[in-house]
A and B are shown apart, each in its own frame.
Chain A
Amino acid sequence: MTLTAEPPMPTHDPSLTPDLPEAAAPVRRIVIQGLGRAGLAYAAAVAQHPACVLSGFVEPRADLRSFAKAVGFAVPSAATLPKLLAQSPADTVIVSVPLAERVVAAEAAIAEGLALLIDGAPASHAEGAARLAASAATARAPIACATPVLFHPLFARAARLLKQGALGGTGRVRASVYVSRVFAPGAPPAEGDVLDVVGGELLQLLDGLFGAPARLTASGQRLYGDRLDEFHAELTLGDGIVAGVDGSWSVPGYPHAAYVIEAEGEQGRILVSDDALEVDLLRPCDDFPAGTTRQVLADMADPVVFDMGDPSRVLDALLARLAAGAVAGDALDSLRALRVVRAIAALRRSITAHSAAQELSV
């Protein structure tokens, strides 16, 4: 891989780099495709990360390209990926376009042979997921998908603990997500519903912590219009674990989505949310002693190079995994992300069919 001569952003001060694992060489040259909120946050994180440089922007909307320029990002931009690559070489693309455009954007990056990170759900429907899975099978570089909640330090810590078998055989799981969006000024947006906004992330979390859903039933409520405002589901996960799931975007008092997972097993119990991780174990596991332990966000090591929220954590993970040569089987796993798109589609079918059971191929 060829290194660019000079990073385009001049502001990174190496003396301010926090104590992180050794920065992986070589430096990645990253393109941001989609200059919405997430795209700009990724651009900022990339501009300040010592292990990568910002190669340019792909955005068909002139107003968004103009805004990024006004923010101060002095890098090339173009309406399409091939046009940008003709001006500025790159080896990685971060796709942060609207949900409906993600499959096409991802296919363009795969066709160019570039490593790819898709921010959020990779497709809006099962057909898109199938199409993307077929494209991914021919990919010459790694493909990753980022679901922000999997990078929250408390959920990441819970995932590590569960992977080490802290609970023994897990029995019952309860999961919920609540957020206030229907009432918010200017909301809800023209498209989407509770499953699009938070349901997918909750299923990503369950799949990541306990395994892929094999069977589900679901019901839902439309309280304020034609769109789904609440859902309730029962999922049978990989090892036969049964998870009861609730989600709503119409509960007042939740400016940010509140994800909560509670799991019981033969060896103990875990309650994890973005507030705290509470663990009650019969025997020690990892650095958790037997008995009850409670940890909060301030107890978690969370070294980010530059804090732009979730994109900073995702970028750190992406760069580390690309340096290691693989992104499968961890929080960036694209196969899981595609699987969850199919699970959401099944959940919708179950709601439409009055809670009829839906089987899913794992």
Chain B
Amino acid sequence: MSPRVRAKAQAPRLLLGASSLELPARTTRDRALEVAGRFREPESLAVTLVKALDAGAEAVYSGPSSTLRAALAELRRPVPVLARLPHTPPSEDLFHEPWLTRDPGDDSAAWNSMRASLAGLSMPVAAMRGDLAARIAGRMEQERDTLGAKSIAGLAVSSPLTDLALAAGNAKFFDQVLRFGRARFGGLAGFETRNLGYLLSQLEAWGIEPDFVIGPVNPRGFGMVPGPAQVIAAVKRLGIPVVASELRAGGTVLLADGARYALENGVTGLLPELVDLDDVAGELRGLSALAR
């Protein structure tokens, strides 16, 4: 089934970002250290996750971090996780090879993808042909399993891979990974990017409709590539659901102001990170009301 004719899944309206626990976030070092310290105990993060869901967050957005895994293990209640994959730890900078060419386990991507569903059955052949989506399919399933989540809400392809394939003009990758993600990650699949304006325009040109795209939108234009005007124009023009990240513009605007600006400019969902929140339940409740 083509992504274009598929019935549209509901794009997320409010996510809680937990990537900043292990990945560098665009905030001050002091703030990042403070928040990491706050959630050092898994119980403390577990309580925060439950409060976030009760306050209106639909899922937690994160890669396979050990901190999140420990917190999820504390809870009997399933916490939906929108998986940010493939995982890209910052320590990869110690190695010359691209992280995706270094196998995280013993299995090859092609072998792993044989275990996949109908959507994944074409992957071994594709991997032998050298298709990017097939090469990473097994890796993403392996990383999803290490999350330890009882409930997977969907797949968001992480920005380093999205932007690499975008720059190379690899339309087939976007099409294939959407099919794979929808079949193997709970029905919802999209992309995270640092080049939101380009990605939206290119997806339109290719006729590819993800369930959502995650990218920076904020009143300062911080991280909005190629520029705030071009990004906002693409968001408004194209109708692809956009979940706004970097709402606080590196800590320079209030979260509510960032959210209001994003929603007024056409985004459909909000992604505040843990480093953006002090009163997690209270602030998410406020954002939930705005995003409704």
Contact = CB atoms under 8 A, between A and B. Distances in A.
A22 interface: no
Interface stretch (B94-102, B261-269, B273-281): B94-102
B168 A181 contact: no
A16 B222 CA distance: 16
A247 B250 CA distance: 26
B179 to A, nearest CB: 17
Contact of A72 (B23, B26, B132, B225): B132
Nearest to B222: A298
Contacts of A64: 97-98, 101
Contacts of A71: 132, 164-165, 168, 170
Nearest to A299: B252
Nearest to B159: A307
A231 interface: no
Nearest to A255: B90
B252 A40 contact: no
A42 to B, nearest CB: 10
Interface in B10-69: 22-24, 26, 28-30, 32-33, 36
Contacts of B173: 72
A69 B130 contact: yes
B282 interface: no
A298 B252 contact: yes
Contact of B97 (A36, A74, A181, A253): A36
B250 A37 contact: no
Nearest to A197: B94
Interface in B196-228: 197-198, 201-202, 220, 222-223, 225-227
B167 A48 contact: yes
Given A18-B230, A37-B92, A307 B252 contact: no
B225 A307 contact: yes
B78 interface: no
Interface string A296-307: 111100011111
A296 B163 contact: no
A10 B97 contact: no
Given A48-B167, A69-B130, A187-B91, A37 B99 contact: yes
Contact of A253 (B33, B93, B197): B33
Nearest to B246: A298
Interface string A273-286: 11110000000000
A44 B168 contact: yes
B184 interface: no
Contacts of B131: 70
B286 interface: no
B194 interface: yes
B195 interface: yes
A312 to B, nearest CB: 9
A298 B227 contact: no
Given A13-B201, A186-B91, A98 B96 contact: yes
Contacts of B28: 275-276, 296
B166 A11 contact: yes
- Most chain B Cβ neighbours within 10 Å, of A44, A63, A74, A304: A44
Contacts of A184: 89-91, 94
A41 B132 CA distance: 16
A32 interface: no
Contacts of A185: 89, 91
Nearest to A13: B201
A305 B195 CA distance: 9
Nearest to A69: B130
B198 A40 contact: no
A44 B162 CA distance: 11
10 cross-chain pairs, A with B, having the tightest CB-CB distances, nearest first: A72-B170, A72-B168, A184-B91, A44-B167, A11-B169, A36-B96, A18-B226, A298-B250, A255-B90, A18-B227
6 contacts: A16-B201, A40-B164, A298-B250, A299-B252, A303-B227, A307-B195
Interface of A: 9-11, 13, 15-19, 34-37, 40-41, 43-45, 47-48, 63-64, 66-67, 69-74, 97-98, 180-181, 184-189, 192, 197, 253-256, 258, 273-276, 296-299, 303-308
Given A72-B170, A306-B195, 8 more contacts: A19-B227, A40-B164, A43-B167, A45-B167, A70-B135, A181-B94, A255-B23, A296-B28
